[in-house]
Amino acid sequence: MNVTLRGKQAMSTALDADSDAREASLAHTFWLSFARVSGMVTASRWRGVRFLCYHSVVPVEDLPGLSRRTLVLTVGGFRNHLEWIRRNHYVVVSMAEALRLLRSGDAPRAQFVCLTFDDGRMDNFAGAWPLVKQAGYSAHFFVNSAVVGQSFARRFEARGVTRSYTEQFMDAVALRTVVHEGGSIGSHGHDHTDLTKLGEPEILQQLVESRRALEALTGGPIETHAYPYAHYDRRVLRATETAGYAVAFKVSTGTVRAIGSHNRFTLPRNAIRTGADNPDNYAIIRGGFDFSRFYSEARYRLRFR
């Protein structure tokens, strides 16, 4: 009898889990449909600079492994993004030009896009950067200074089989080549530590060391920072200014129309989602998910105030 009861309980739990999964799937489908419709409305209306936040761009066979570590899309998916951006007449600008537009007040005159990448993996240089150059664009790479030139062997389980891949990061030659060929470099912290979990001296050390190391490697100024894990609080904001950065970025939907003292250390970047060519991402670029910005920011302030 106890066995029968346990069986019924297990069946009930499985049915509840299946029901929850269906509800989550329906909710995602609803919000994606809403975002697509919203994106169709906002696509031609927003003005300013939309900063896009990519992570890794890899061949399709590397997608399963790296997607367990970071946000990632395929080389083909990224190529589609660039072609789609051009077809929709968005103007891709470098980080330097984006900041100039925002400081001069010229940003609201058109629809500008700035391509950025986090973490500094070698696939950014081998997979994404050639496509960016081919399109005649620039891109900005936020790099963790402690892992420049390093590689790590990783393993993951897929359908009961243990597989492996190598996670490799750009070296000094790659970073200097990007700069020489028209790209730019920013800081993503020294070793990708969540700065909100550190004491104030350690926060400043992470920010200063990253800037110093990257300036030594590239031979140029490092004036931009992207918060690791997109986490920051008041102490991190103060330390970012003290460390000498001109601007810093969080992750949030939205378009920037101007830079001032109120926002120069909390500029939003629109995170590109994982998938070979995830349809969510086109809605993100169009501005379809911007409706969620105020809710997300309110939740963030409650967590990290």
Could you identify the residue written with the tokens 């919203």? 38
Q: Residue 8 pLDDT more than 50?
A: no
Question: Per-residue pLDDT tens for 91-145?
Answer: 999 999 999 999 999 999 999 999 999 999 999 999 999 999 999 999 999 999 9
Q: Residue 20 pLDDT more than 70?
A: no
Q: How is the chain split among helix, strand and coil, in percent rounded to 5?
A: 50, 20, 30
- Judge whether 127 and 140 are in contact, CB under 8 Å: no
Which pTM does this prediction carry?
0.84
Q: Residue 24 pLDDT more than 50?
A: no
Percent of the chain clearing pLDDT 70 (strictly above): 81
Q: Residue 11 pLDDT more than 80?
A: no
Q: Residue 300 pLDDT more than 80?
A: no
Confidence of residue 294 (pLDDT cuts 50, 70, 90): low
Tell which wins on pLDDT, 152 or 34. Answer: 152
Domain map (residue ranges) of the chain: 43-304
- Residue 13 confidence (pLDDT): 46
> DSSP states of 104-164 as a string?
HT-GGGSEEEEEEEEE-BHHIIIIIHHHHHHTT---EEEE-GGGTT-EEEEEEEETTEEEE
The CATH superfamily label for domain 43-304 reads Glycoside hydrolase/deacetylase (3.20.20.370)
Q: Residue 32 pLDDT more than 70?
A: no
- Residue 96 confidence (pLDDT): 98
3-state secondary structure of 259: coil
3-state secondary structure of 138: coil
- Residue 165 confidence (pLDDT): 80
- Residue 34 confidence (pLDDT): 52
Question: Per-residue pLDDT tens for 51-96?
Answer: 999 999 999 988 888 888 899 999 999 999 999 999 999 999 999 9
- Residue 264 confidence (pLDDT): 98
- Judge whether 119 and 56 are in contact, CB under 8 Å: yes
- 68's tokens: 């367990």
- Residue 102 confidence (pLDDT): 98
The whole-chain average pLDDT of the chain stands at 87
Confidence of residue 280 (pLDDT cuts 50, 70, 90): very high
Q: Residue 268 pLDDT more than 60?
A: yes
Confidence of residue 303 (pLDDT cuts 50, 70, 90): low
Length of the chain: 305
**Among 154-158, 190-194, 296-300, which range has the highest average pLDDT?**
190-194
- Residue 163 confidence (pLDDT): 76
Cβ atoms < 10 Å from Cβ of 230: 17
- Residue 21 confidence (pLDDT): 45
Average pLDDT over residues 137-164: 88
Average pLDDT over residues 236-244: 98
| Cα dihedral 29/34/37/40 (nearest 10) | -100
Tell which wins on pLDDT, 250 or 165. Answer: 250
